[in-house]
Amino acid sequence: MLILAATPIGNLKDASPRLVEALETVRVVASEDTRTTQRLLAALGVTNRPRLIAFHDHNEKEKAAELAALAAQEDLLVVSEAGMPTVSDPGYGLVAAAAALGVTVTAIPGPSAVVTALAVSGLPTDRFTFEGFVARKPGERAASLRALAAEPRTMVFFEAPSRVATTLADMGKAFGDDRRAAVCRELTKMFEETKRGTLAELTAWAADGVRGEVVLVVEGAAPRNVAFPDAVTQVLELVRAGTRLKDAASEVSAHTGHSSRELYQAALAVKG
């Protein structure tokens, strides 16, 4: 089978007994960084010396089919540098290839920077979206953030420490300086810190530089005061752009507060 294994994101004590057991027994490990995995084996006192196969962003497309075929013959453990494989880390292509071959895919759950940051952010956790790393190029970053301006769910982003201040400033331009957010850095490590405030406050705080691994959590947009006929128009515009009517009604409902069912029926009547 194919086994996706979550590894510690900082504190080594977060390694689960199942992770240690798997590392002690498997013969082959697909690793995002073989040097990191070797250090993990040593730190956990694992005596097994599995064959380590480098599996990262630069070779995932080439290796996916080969590793999926290997997983059909024997257990293959997949680990990333930290956290859960496939979540902003290599693994998606391999899982898809393994599933296509009928290989059993399972996971050893554990640490996740996404869920950990969300939990400590102090922002709503009932609905959230993970947006991965913010685009590096200024134009692309600004465009992607503008596209999220009306997103009602709490948003989680990864960002390099050197770009935190710039990204927070760009978020303020796209979302409004008064939007609440949290900067979570060095999660589970000795110097863990969560700084909460508005985007304007956090931008000023980050101006002198931010160190360590960083996760940004940003409050979702409040429902806009949009008249029902205007909301129906928005649904129809999304449909004309290629969105399914049901999905368009749900999307507009999320940021206007109008009933998704009523928007669907009204838009359907107009189309009819």
* Domain presence at residue 223: no
Asked whether the beta carbons of 5 and 19 are under 8 A apart, the reply is: yes
Do 149 and 68 belong together in one domain? no
**Rounded to 10 degrees, what is the CA torsion of 235, 240, 243, 245?**
50
Structure-block tokens of residue 270: 């107009």
User: Which of 85, 111, 137 represents a domain boundary (last residue)?
Assistant: 111
Residue 155 reports pLDDT greater than 90: yes
Number of domains in the chain: 3
At 90 the pLDDT is 93
Q: DSSP letters along 162-223, please?
A: GGHHHHHHHHHHHH-TT-EEEEEESTTSTT-EEEEEEHHHHHHHHTT---S-EEEEEPPPPP
Do 24 and 105 belong together in one domain? yes
* Domain presence at residue 257: yes
At 154 the pLDDT is 97
User: Which of 111, 144, 170 represents a domain boundary (last residue)?
Assistant: 111
User: Which of 56, 82, 111 represents a domain boundary (last residue)?
Assistant: 111
Do 124 and 155 belong together in one domain? yes
Residue with tokens 């902003």: 88
* Domain presence at residue 58: yes
* Domain presence at residue 35: yes
Distances (CA, A) of 175 to 43, 72, 180, 198, 261: 43, 47, 10, 11, 28
Do 235 and 211 belong together in one domain? no
* Domain presence at residue 254: yes
Residue 265 reports pLDDT greater than 90: yes
Do 258 and 208 belong together in one domain? no
Do 36 and 118 belong together in one domain? no
Do 120 and 94 belong together in one domain? no
Kindly give, in sequence order, each residue whose CB lies less than 8 Å from that of residue 187, ignoring residues fewer than 6 positions away.
9, 10, 113, 116, 117, 120, 213, 215
Region 87-116: mean pLDDT is: 96
Indicate the pLDDT class of residue 224, thresholds 50, 70 and 90: confident
* Domain presence at residue 143: yes
At 44 the pLDDT is 97
pTM, 2 dp: 0.81
Do 22 and 33 belong together in one domain? yes
Which pairs with CB-CB distance under 8 Å and at least 24 residues apart come from 139-145? 141/167, 141/170, 142/170, 142/173, 142/174, 145/170, 145/171, 145/173, 145/174, 145/175
Q: How far apart are CA 59 and CA 62, in angstroms?
A: 5
Domain that holds residue 144: 114-218
* Domain presence at residue 9: yes
At 131 the pLDDT is 96
Do 141 and 168 belong together in one domain? yes
Do 144 and 193 belong together in one domain? yes
Residue 202 belongs to domain with CATH number = 3.30.950.10
Do 152 and 243 belong together in one domain? no
* Domain presence at residue 96: yes
Indicate the pLDDT class of residue 252, thresholds 50, 70 and 90: confident
At 250 the pLDDT is 86
Do 211 and 245 belong together in one domain? no
